[in-house]
Amino acid sequence: MSEQGNQFSRRSFIAQTAMASAGAALAMEAVAGAANSPPQQAQTGLPKGKLGNLEVSRLILGGNLLEHFTHSRDLKYVYRLAGHYNTETKVIETLKLAESLGINTMSGSINPTATNALRKYRTKHGGKIQWIICPYADLEPGLAKFNEEVERLMDWGCDAVYIWGVRADGLAGSDKGIGLLGKAVEAVKAHGVPCGIGGHVTNVVVQCEKHKIPNDFYIKTFHHHDYPSAKLNYDSLWCDKPEELMEIMQGVQKPWIAFKTMAAGAIPPESAFPYCFNGGADFVLAGMFDFDIAQDVTIAKDAIAKAKRKRPWHG
């Protein structure tokens, strides 16, 4: 190639590179601008239901991944990987994306990793996504620490509260424990917001129904066992008797949010969501990275539209 040709090639390369760099910079500015603006009205038609007086999309954004709790079995590096990926900026972007696609509610714990981002999303980015948050405090007889955390959530603008499943699991086995659950529910509802009860064991639902606890909804684990690591039972199984749970929930008139529906990533949403909606769940709580959300909304809409269930829809 001639020297003139080489010069032309170099000039062309430099010009094209500069144009590409400028285009990339403009694209980055556009993304940043979108993250700082309030979400547009979603046109997805994602169905909604009621938890008390709160209207909630039937697909709810789960908080585990946003809080970096990945339940990654013995792959310990995954916790750190989730932490490096889901920075506060990325959490805010994820909340905005979920809301723009029709998910109007997020549920998680009082963990500051997510709640700080939630508060900033609402106050500085125009976000409207609703919160259903569980306090971590012990339910001691006076409920002092629990009430303190609930007050903090109310100050932050939390829309609903539920009793952490780990707490409810331990309390459901005794009359004293059930009594504390009832008092905690009443303490939350005194603030004028709906209150649910979480659980990993079916006995939570059985005992709360038996003692007529006035909770507005349940957040109960629900998934099938058709995945390899279900047999390990090593941070890999959260609903030990799903068929039994289906039967019990037939007689429960309160809305049911199913969680751990994908067994912490072991079950694809194409299998998990239809199983839950067909099995009687009224809402699905799903942990999602930002790149999962659009597909999961589509799958949820299809699963709801095609659901064949014995249990009537509640909420």
Evaluate whether residue 75 is within a structural domain.
yes
Nearest-angstrom CA–CA distance, 197 and 22: 52
- Supply the pTM of this predicted model: 0.85
The residue range of the domain holding 235 is 37-305
Question: By C-alpha distance, which of 248, 148, 140 is closest to 191?
Answer: 148
φ/ψ region of 198 (left if φ > 0, alpha if ψ in -120 to 50, else beta) reads beta
Evaluate whether residue 98 is within a structural domain.
yes
The residue-averaged pLDDT of 7-24 equals 38
Query: What pLDDT sits at residue 67?
Result: 83
Pick the residue with more confidence: 275 or 6?
275
The residue-averaged pLDDT of 103-117 equals 91
pLDDT digits (tens, 9 = 90+) for 54-105: 999 999 999 888 888 788 878 888 888 888 998 999 999 999 999 999 999 9
The residue-averaged pLDDT of 231-235 equals 85
Query: What pLDDT sits at residue 108?
Result: 92
pLDDT digits (tens, 9 = 90+) for 27-41: 333 333 433 333 333
> Which of the residue ranges 23-37, 110-124, 289-303 would you say has the lowest mean pLDDT?
23-37
Evaluate whether residue 62 is within a structural domain.
yes
Are residues 79 and 72 in contact, defined by beta-carbon separation less than 8 angstroms? yes
What CATH number has the domain bearing residue 292?
Answer: 3.20.20.100
**Collapsed DSSP state (helix, strand, coil) of residue 39:** coil
Domain count, the chain: 1
Residues in CB range of 272: below 8 A, 6 or more apart: 223, 224, 261, 262, 263, 284, 286
Evaluate whether residue 179 is within a structural domain.
yes
Evaluate whether residue 9 is within a structural domain.
no
Nearest-angstrom CA–CA distance, 289 and 292: 5
Task: Supply φ then ψ for residue 254, to 5 degrees.
Answer: -90, 150
Evaluate whether residue 21 is within a structural domain.
no
- Tokens representing 12 are 């062309």
The residue-averaged pLDDT of 192-202 equals 97
pLDDT digits (tens, 9 = 90+) for 248-265: 999 999 999 999 999 989
pLDDT digits (tens, 9 = 90+) for 261-286: 999 899 999 999 999 999 999 999 99
Mean pLDDT across the chain: 87
